Amino acid sequence: MIDKTYNILLIFALLVTLGGCTGTFEDTNTNPYGVTKEDLMQDYMNVGSYFPQLQQFIYTIYGDLQVEQNLTGDAFAQYMVTPTPFMSNRNNLTYKFVWYSNRWNNDYANVMPVIFNFQGLKIDKQYPNFYAWATVLKIFSMHRVTDDYGPIIYSNYGSSDAIINYDSQQKVYYSFFSELDSAINKLSSYAGQSTGVFKKFDLVYGGNVVKWIKAANSLRLRLALRISKVDPAKAKLEGEKAVSQTYGLIEDNSDNFMVALNSYTHPLWTFSNGWSDCRMCATMGSILGGYKDPRLPIYFSPATDVSIAGKYVGIRQGIDIPSKSTYVDFASVGSMYETTKYVQIMTAAEVAFLRAEGALRGWNMGGTAAYFYKQGIDLSLSQYGLSSNYPVYSNDSTSTFASYVDPKNSTNNFAPSSNITIKWDESATQEQKLERIITQKWIALFPDGQEAWSEFRRTGYPKLLPVVVNYSGGTISTKDFVRRTPYPDDEYLTNPDGIAGGLLLLGGPDTGGTRVWWDTGGANF
């Protein structure tokens, strides 16, 4: 396997072949049929042409998203699982890691080289607005990398030293916050250019700088809550900074961070309906079905198996699957993913739930936890044209998670994992309030299982189901769930001393059972 992290020249050569970013901007972007360097500079093509790539690799629109996320974060969040017993059913879903390199490889091949090149060419001086935009996009991608693995190569990326040292996750997060300061300040100086020079390269906001600032502020709030248990003072500082910034946060669905697919089909549709490798997780059926949630028939299509035809029955994660035919006709991904034009990165609903939790923790979020909790539900329902369902749904004080019956194997049956209801209860404990917030946030985050898995690891909510079959050999506790992704094998071959230092920073073995820095376990308050 090619070392995509350290051999920068090889990365650039590879990316030239693939049409990606390279270390020779001027050569690559000079049209041999008469377009000059000056022409390219005039319309910003010499820099802007790399931004579609930066946007598309936050949630990989093409390529190997199946092994990067669908068979990792999506499954560990218990959104979707595969009916296919890959590797004789000894795979990620049964805690025998076989897919764990792809997020690392994708981001170190398609995101970090762009920023490294920008730095070398002093793009921050020549085009500070583009550099600030690139920084925000980089953090959207790289926080997912550190959330998966823990300590990563960040400040030392691109070093020619024989040993490439890792940064602790705390240092990486602190770097994120510092870089967001610089990027937001710089973008704010261009805020009057509502649809300026970014427009032709922007797959999200059509060049609207103010909307990018809102996205950056919202990202800061997401990261602040992520460290709220391990570093509460820093978390509060950053969370309140996000809310008080001049241009605010993503507050309306028109400002949602949605990357245009252009000519691509949503990957989930391909996995589910092209390859028949992706089905609804039984936990989704338990929670959405128990709540009579109107998003269920939008997120998923009913089963076609004769024993459950027309019903929303999913597959429990981490079970014995004799053959693909056993569960392949269970509930699949919803038809909206056949025609949708966007992939979801961050929404107003998520931001509202972030503010609800911040307020619950005593941060100044501009409103109460109850207010933002209700707003989050309303925004999520409205996102799917279901706003008329809000009054009944948000006031439901009786519906809870449902039990599950596996028509193929009763060993997989389960009782409701929680009795938490939907309606806000001001008399509830702090922990109960948080469970409500995160459970509804989990529903609203769909289909981004990577983010949902991170929030489950941080809070323990919603209450998911343990695997039935655990092939980890004792490295992952069934009752504690999987906590991280192991490092790629190439790291041990190409940078053994560097990864040794990274493991010291991680503080535990390189297994799926070791917690990352912000994953402290225990009570939330």
CATH code for position 24: 1.25.40.390
Closest CA to 84 of 308, 300, 314, 322: 322
Q: Given this model, what pLDDT does residue 108 score?
A: 97
Look at residue 320 and tell me if it is in a domain.
no
Q: Which residue type, as a one-letter code, is found at position 74?
A: D
Q: Given this model, what pLDDT does residue 62 score?
A: 82
CA–CA distance, 146 with 405 (Å, rounded to integer)? 37
What six digits make up the tokens of 282?
């039984």
Look at residue 259 and tell me if it is in a domain.
yes
Q: Given this model, what pLDDT does residue 116 score?
A: 96
Work out the pLDDT band at 196, boundaries 50, 70, 90: confident
Look at residue 282 and tell me if it is in a domain.
no
**Bridge partner list, 281:** 315
- Whether omega before 447 lies within 30 degrees of 0, making that bond cis, reads yes
Work out the angle at residue 375's Cα, subtended by the Cα atoms of residues 371 and 378, and round it to the nearest 5 degrees.
Answer: 145
Query: Scanning the structure block, which residue is given the tokens 């029955």?
Result: 313
User: pLDDT tens digit string along 145-178?
Assistant: 999 999 999 999 999 999 999 999 999 999 999 9
383 contacts: CB under 8 Å, gap ≥ 6: 253, 256, 347, 348, 349, 444
**152 with 167: CB under 8 angstroms?**
yes
Look at residue 432 and tell me if it is in a domain.
yes
Look at residue 293 and tell me if it is in a domain.
no
Task: Give percent above pLDDT 70 in the chain.
Answer: 92
Work out the pLDDT band at 19, boundaries 50, 70, 90: very low
Work out the pLDDT band at 40, boundaries 50, 70, 90: very low
3-state secondary structure 104-120: HHHHHHHCHHHHHHHHH
User: pLDDT tens digit string along 276-286?
Assistant: 999 999 999 99
User: pLDDT tens digit string along 43-89?
Assistant: 788 899 999 999 999 999 987 899 999 999 999 999 999 999 999 99
CA–CA distance, 292 with 395 (Å, rounded to integer)? 13
User: pLDDT tens digit string along 375-406?
Assistant: 999 999 999 999 999 999 999 999 999 999 99
Q: Given this model, what pLDDT does residue 9 score?
A: 34
Structural domain of 190: 8-268+336-506
pLDDT beyond 80 at 483: yes
Measured CA to CA in angstroms, residue 69 lies from 37, 63, 233, 356 at distances of: 39, 11, 32, 27
CA–CA distance, 96 with 72 (Å, rounded to integer)? 11
Look at residue 514 and tell me if it is in a domain.
no
Query: Scanning the structure block, which residue is given the tokens 């809870």?
Result: 400
Q: Given this model, what pLDDT does residue 195 score?
A: 63
Look at residue 157 and tell me if it is in a domain.
yes
Task: Give percent above pLDDT 90 in the chain.
Answer: 89
In this structure, the number of other CB atoms found within 10 A of the CB of residue 417 comes to: 18
Angle between helices 128-149 and 102-110 (to 10 degrees): 170
Measured CA to CA in angstroms, residue 437 lies from 370, 400, 433 at distances of: 9, 14, 6
Structurally, the chain folds into a number of domains equal to: 1
In this structure, the number of other CB atoms found within 10 A of the CB of residue 125 comes to: 8
User: pLDDT tens digit string along 298-330?
Assistant: 999 999 999 999 999 999 999 999 999 999 999
**Strands annotated E in 41-129:** 80-81
CA–CA distance, 456 with 484 (Å, rounded to integer)? 12
**510 with 502: CB under 8 angstroms?**
no
User: pLDDT tens digit string along 201-257?
Assistant: 999 999 999 999 999 999 999 999 999 999 999 999 999 999 999 999 999 999 999
In this structure, the number of other CB atoms found within 10 A of the CB of residue 466 comes to: 15
pLDDT beyond 70 at 129: yes
Q: Given this model, what pLDDT does residue 22 score?
A: 32
Look at residue 313 and tell me if it is in a domain.
no
**Whole-prediction pTM:** 0.93
